[in-house]
Amino acid sequence: MIEPRTIKQAETECRMAWEAHPEAEYGWCVHHDTEMEALSEPIVNRIRYIVENKDEDERVVRLDNLRPVLSIKAVAAWKAYEKAIATAQKAYDEARTTARKAYDEARTTARKAYKEAVAPAWKAYEEAIAPAWEAYEEAIAPAWEAYKEAVATAQKAYKEAVATAQKAYEKAVAPAHKHDVPNHTWNGKSIFQKG
């Protein structure tokens, strides 16, 4: 009967893998729900955190999956993916900002016209406010529709750009991950099978 691996064994193997590649800037499964990511701090801090703070029944799995990314292709795919997301996000933000500005300007103009129409007719409030409000809504309706269309277009472009980048990233990263961590348990969302 094979004895289950201990946390200490898993920790030792994890540390050895990282010590063998001190130049590594990216890691596999640094967090259980992220396949690959750039290191934001020394990896020894993450290893220590797992050993000291994570649920005991998760430690071996976490440490067994925590390895340096050795594939230049995977790193290049990650960088291309991040660049594509940043480009798509920038385009989305710019489109949304432009559309919102146009909507806000139309709304301000319409609100000013509305207030001017209502002020002198205050005594005849019941008769005067209904047409003024209707004019306000009619004035902003095209701007609101234009805003929604611009945001929808930007969202679609963003999703398409991210989807394309995601496919390229996955195509490049999956074989590299399998090569670097042959016994990994990454399932596309988590290193835990329940995830």
- In this predicted structure, the answer to whether residue 77 has a pLDDT above a threshold of 60 is yes
**Domain spans, the chain:** 7-70, 73-175
Residues above pLDDT 70, as percent of the chain: 95
Q: Which helix (H) or strand (E) holds 149?
A: helix 125-180
- In this predicted structure, the answer to whether residue 30 has a pLDDT above a threshold of 80 is yes
Among candidates 13, 26, 100, which has minimal Cα distance to 59?
13
pLDDT at 195: 47
For residues 126-139, give the mean pLDDT.
Answer: 82
Q: Categorize the per-residue pLDDT at 3 as very low, low, confident or very high, splitting at 50, 70 and 90.
A: low
The mean pLDDT of the chain is: 91
How many other C-beta atoms can be found within 10 angstroms of the C-beta atom of residue 177? 22
The token duo for 124 is 């005849």
CA distances from 115 to 12, 74, 111, 127 (A): 73, 60, 6, 15
- In this predicted structure, the answer to whether residue 41 has a pLDDT above a threshold of 50 is yes
pLDDT at 194: 67
For residues 38-43, give the mean pLDDT.
Answer: 96
Q: Distance from CA of residue 145 to its chain's centroid?
A: 27
pLDDT at 2: 61
Q: Which helix (H) or strand (E) holds 47?
A: helix 43-53
Q: Distance from CA of residue 6 to its chain's centroid?
A: 35
Q: Categorize the per-residue pLDDT at 67 as very low, low, confident or very high, splitting at 50, 70 and 90.
A: very high
For residues 157-178, give the mean pLDDT.
Answer: 90
- In this predicted structure, the answer to whether residue 126 has a pLDDT above a threshold of 90 is no
pLDDT at 151: 95
pTM of the entire predicted model: 0.60
CA distances from 19 to 12, 15, 22, 24, 192 (A): 10, 6, 5, 10, 25
- In this predicted structure, the answer to whether residue 118 has a pLDDT above a threshold of 80 is no
Burial class, 173, CB count within 10 angstroms (exposed 0-12 / middle 13-18 / buried 19+): buried
For residues 185-193, give the mean pLDDT.
Answer: 86
Q: Categorize the per-residue pLDDT at 62 as very low, low, confident or very high, splitting at 50, 70 and 90.
A: very high
Among candidates 80, 82, 74, which has minimal Cα distance to 180?
74
- Between 24-28, 67-71, 177-181, the lowest mean confidence (pLDDT) is in 177-181
pLDDT at 123: 66
